[in-house]
Structure 1
Amino acid sequence: MNDISNTPSSGNSLTAALQAALAARTQFLDARHEMALRLFNGFYEGFPNLVVDLYGRTLIVYNYAHTPSDADDAIGEAFEFFQEALPWVTSILVKARYGALEEEKKGRLLWGSGIDKRIRENGVAYAVDLRINQDASFYLDTRHLREWAKDNLEGKTVLNTFAYTGSIGIAARAGGASRVVQIDLSRTFLNVAKESCTINGFSIDRLDFQAGDFFPRVSHLKRDAARFDCVFVDPPLYSKTRGGKVDLMEESHRILNKVRPLINDGGWLVTINNALFVSGAEYMAMLESLCADGYLSIETTIPVPQDFIGFSETPAGVLPADPAPFNHATKIAVLRVRRKDAIAKPTDES
């Protein structure tokens, strides 16, 4: 993310940039202060060392400076601005992406006492653990995908791979999905998904929370002839385990082909690629190549929320690869699936 080309102009004021960014987002703030929102994206809005997210009444300030102390003045300025602009905020957490200590990366409390443990989005409650790792346990760029899941998966069976803390699966449950299986390498992350189930009053079946490597888990599901109406695939940029390799730069099609046999005829394959250096055109070309056999088709793409990337009235950064036709490097596509074994063969009338 720090490769976005955008440096502050010498005459720019960080406070002025924060004011413009907040003014553009005021319409999204909720009266009960329960939602999660990106308040400032410095990569796009003029100050690439700084990102500010809101989770309920907790602010998270991300310090992306390679030498964290280089951003101390900017963090102090942001602290003063938000304390005055958002007096209902109860705590401010700072995460240093390049901090020397793990605690710096996971976050230190700059001000306040206690941090929020749940947020609400689109009528759904989500548990959050804001210090679980260098991220905040809940991805803001996939908000519209959670809306899609809630709106489209009533009565459907769902597999959420690389689930992290399971927010997409929770949205599907909230929309009435009949079953959601969540797979992630980390049991700690899946425990957050279980907590989200609890606070929403959803039942918990331990078989639906599978901690383990994607590759053997998917192979096991294939051996069991498991089928789902929708499969979500949101892998990391690169990972290599004993089971296999994930490489979104060079081989993202391999992961998608792994899960295709698990999808019912007429179902969906939802794919996310967040590689900065993979252009939207390249990614679409890869998807179109998968569709060439006629058993997959691109149904729609889902944009990243505008608050995540900035607005027309705030300065815009330049990504290292043009994401068009997507609006961000997080490229989300929904593919419709047809199965060879479900297509009726023509009868022999001779």
Structure 2
Amino acid sequence: MSPSSPSLVDRLRSARERRGALLSDARTTAFRLVNGVPDGMPDVTVDTFAGVHVVSLYRDFTPVEEQALLDAAQEAWSPRSLYLKRRPREARVLANTARDVIAPEQPARGEAVESLEALENGLRFLIRPAQGLSVGLYLDMRETRAWLLGQVKGLTVLNLFSYTCAFGVVATAAGASRVLNIDTSRRVLDWGEENALLNGQPVDRYDYVAGDVFDWLGRLAKKGQGFDVVISDPPSFSTTRTARFSAARDYPQLAEAAARLVAPGGRLVACCNLSTLTPRRFEAMVLEGVGRAGRQGRSVLALGPSPVDFPWSPEAPPGLKVHVVQLR
């Protein structure tokens, strides 16, 4: 990329034009503007949240390349702000030791924005673009959240690895009778409570549980609790004080524990964002776990990111896989 390359500006403008359906949707102001190779921008993604753009780099760009990209984005889109996230393979390790390098708190271009509200299907979510690599909402889950809106009226929902509780907000808006959110981090659960309040939803601290998910799955099972819908959206890799989780290795174990809490006739919504795991292999792992729990289940639906803002190609297939399993 040369600093003044018109082709780079053109590619960014073309990527934005391909999001036309989203650009004209007043009920959704959070979506992906650039999705790597399919948009002609290898190793680059750009997410927009009500005019604040978050640029993520998935290899070590030179300073000249970075500045060229940021200049081109400013010219192509004239955003309110551009925030930069550097996500090389070692980013998960460096995020705690070199956060100012991986995820600078100050914008690369434009005004500093501590927080803002973004819309998704008419619901409001608090975004903090300067707070680390994750800014509050995973946009590839928009289609799954939209599906959930029509599925849980009057039902109980367990939201595992809830992060800022976007699924919980959607389930409550859809008329769920109860939503229990569990995450290891009290900080993001507090953020989830803020999201609920933004949408005029009541907040009960007992429904925002901080702790190890596997531990809580066991505790809830011992109490004989069941839920009509269990949503499992773990990180691909995680480490707690007591355990390490790898989706490629441990998803059957997670599906087994989650299936034990699905009420008869209920559904397990199993999600995975590990790009190296094929949809067929992931489905097999989920069904293996359901069988280990002594339950019978069948896949009834496969979901994924929207092709409008998450286009894919054979060399860059979608990373997100969602399988909905109906249990007897």
Fold match by TM threshold 0.5: yes
Superposition deviation, residue 12 in structure 1: 9.1
Deviations 1:208-261 (A, max 9, x none): 000111122222212222211111111111223344332211231110101111
- Give the whole-Å Cα distance in 2 for the aligned partners of 1:336 and 1:243: 31
Q: Does 1:334 align with 2:328?
A: no
Structure 1 Cα separation of the partners of residues 244 and 327 of structure 2: 24
1:149 deviation in Å?
Answer: 1.5
Match of 1:103 among 89, 92, 100: 100
Distance 1:40 1:117, change over 3 A: same
Counterpart Cα distance in 1 of 2:225 and 2:6: 56
> Which of residues 77, 97, 108 is equivalent to 2:72?
77
Mean alpha-carbon deviation: is it higher for 290-299 or for 263-272? Answer: 290-299
Q: What secondary structure sits across from 1:165 in the alignment?
A: coil
Distance change (3 Å), C-alpha of 1:239 and 1:95: closer
Residue type at the aligned position of 2:296: Y
**Structure 1 equivalent of residue 33 of structure 2:** 39
Q: Percent sequence identity over matched residues?
A: 27
Q: Which residue of 2 aligns with 1:65?
A: 59
**Unaligned ranges ≥5, structure 2:** none
Aligned match of 2:160: 161
3-state SS of paired residue (1:335): strand
Residues 143 and 306 in structure 2, CA contact (< 8 A), matched pair in contact too: yes
TM-score w.r.t. the length of structure 1 is: 0.82
Secondary structure at the counterpart of residue 141 of structure 1 = helix
Note the alpha carbon deviations across 1:35-60, whole angstroms, 9 max, x for none: 10101112332222321111012111
Q: Number of aligned pairs?
A: 314
The 8 Å contact of residues 271 and 323 in structure 2, kept in 1 or not, is answered as yes
Supply the distance in 2 between the matched residues of 1:318 and 1:174 (Cα, whole angstroms): 38
Deviation readout 1:249-301 (Å, 9 max, x if unpaired): 12311101011111111111000111111112222333444566761110101
- Give the aligned residue type for 1:49: D
What does 1:1-350 align with in structure 2 at a 5 Å threshold? 13-30=7-24, 35-67=29-61, 69=63, 70-83=65-78, 89-98=79-88, 101-107=98-104, 108-109=106-107, 110-114=109-113, 116-290=115-289, 295-310=296-311, 316=313, 318-319=315-316, 328-338=318-328
Higher relative contact order (CA closer than 8 Å, sequence separation 6+): 1
* Per-residue Cα deviation, 1:54-98 (whole angstroms, up to 9, x for no partner): 101211122333245242212221222111xxxxx4222222225
Amino acid at match of 1:102: R
Paired AA for residue 333 in structure 1: H
Between the aligned partners of 2:72 and 2:156, the Cα distance in structure 1 is 48
Q: Please give the TM-score of this superposition, normalised by the length of structure 2.
A: 0.87
Moved more, 55-64 or 164-173: 55-64
Larger Rg: 1
**Residues 119, 125 of structure 1: 8 Å contact kept:** yes
- Aligned-partner Cα distance in 2 for 1:64–1:303: 21
Structure 1 227/214 Cα, relative in aligned 2: closer, same or farther at 3 Å? same
Shift of 1:33: 8.3
TM-fit CA distance, 1:103: 2.6
Taking a change above 3 Å as real, the CA distance of residues 229 and 280 of structure 1, as seen in their structure-2 partners, is: same
- Per-residue deviation, 1:13: 2.0
Residue segments in structure 1 that go unaligned for 5+ positions in a row: 1-6, 84-88, 339-350
The CA deviation at 1:28 is 1.0
Provide the rounded CA distance (Å) in 2 between the counterparts of 1:130 and 1:189.
14
Letter in 2 for 1:29: L
* Distance in 1 separating the partners of 2:314 and 2:41: 10
| Amino acid aligned to 2:125 | Y
> Using the alignment, how far apart are the partners of 2:6 and 2:264 within structure 1?
55
